Amino acid sequence: MLELRPAQKGDIPLILQFIKDLAEYERLSDIVVANEELLEESLFGDCRYAEVVLAYYDGQPAGFALFFHNYSTFLARPGIYLEDLFVKPEFRRKSIGKALLSHLAQIALDRKCGRLEWSVLDWNTPAIDFYKSIGAKAMDEWTVFRLTGESLNKLAES
């Protein structure tokens, strides 16, 4: 049986483990600096920057979705950006990923959001095929840019 629920402060160790598991799957473990204190501050502090939905299958933690709001000036509405979606390998092919996305779609509608969007690594064909199967469209004409670390500091100082 599948259960979805919003994360609570006591779930921080589980959330961190899911983040690390996702990073390992994406071959990005070397860039994870998240820790329990940072997660507590950003997910449950005075200014909450993101939300988490946890998935349990037969009472066992099976996956999570971490999301936050963005905004579309063209739609003049908020949107939901899915930062992380992860289902443990042993729980895949049980429709948990689809249930998490469906849950987020309902949250988006309830909050009058104009869209739900996310990014996927271009080599992750199982995820890409899954997203296409539920009607998601690739935004191939857009390129994501990012500033972090020294580049971010340098621009802020200029």
How does pLDDT run across 41-56, given as a tens digit for each residue?
999 999 999 999 999 9
Question: First and final CA of the chain: distance in angstroms?
Answer: 54
For the chain, give the mean pLDDT.
97
Looking at domain 2-157, its CATH class is: alpha beta
DSSP secondary structure letter of residue 13: H
Work out the pLDDT band at 57, boundaries 50, 70, 90.
Answer: very high
How far, in Å, CA of 15 to CA of 9, rounded? Answer: 10
Is this structure's pTM higher than 0.75?
A: yes
Q: Which residue has the tokens 């629920």?
A: 5
Q: DSSP labels for 44-63?
A: HSSS---EEEEEEETTEEEE
The reported pLDDT for the residue numbered 38 is 98
Question: pLDDT tens digits, residue range 106-148?
Answer: 999 999 999 999 999 999 999 999 999 999 999 999 999 999 9
Would you say the C-alpha torsion 150, 52, 95, 113 has a positive or negative sign? negative
Instruction: Determine the pLDDT at residue 130.
Output: 93
pLDDT recorded at residue 2: 98
pLDDT at position 107, please? 98
Query: Of these residues, 25, 57, 71, 131, which one is catalytic?
Result: 131
Active site residue 131: yes
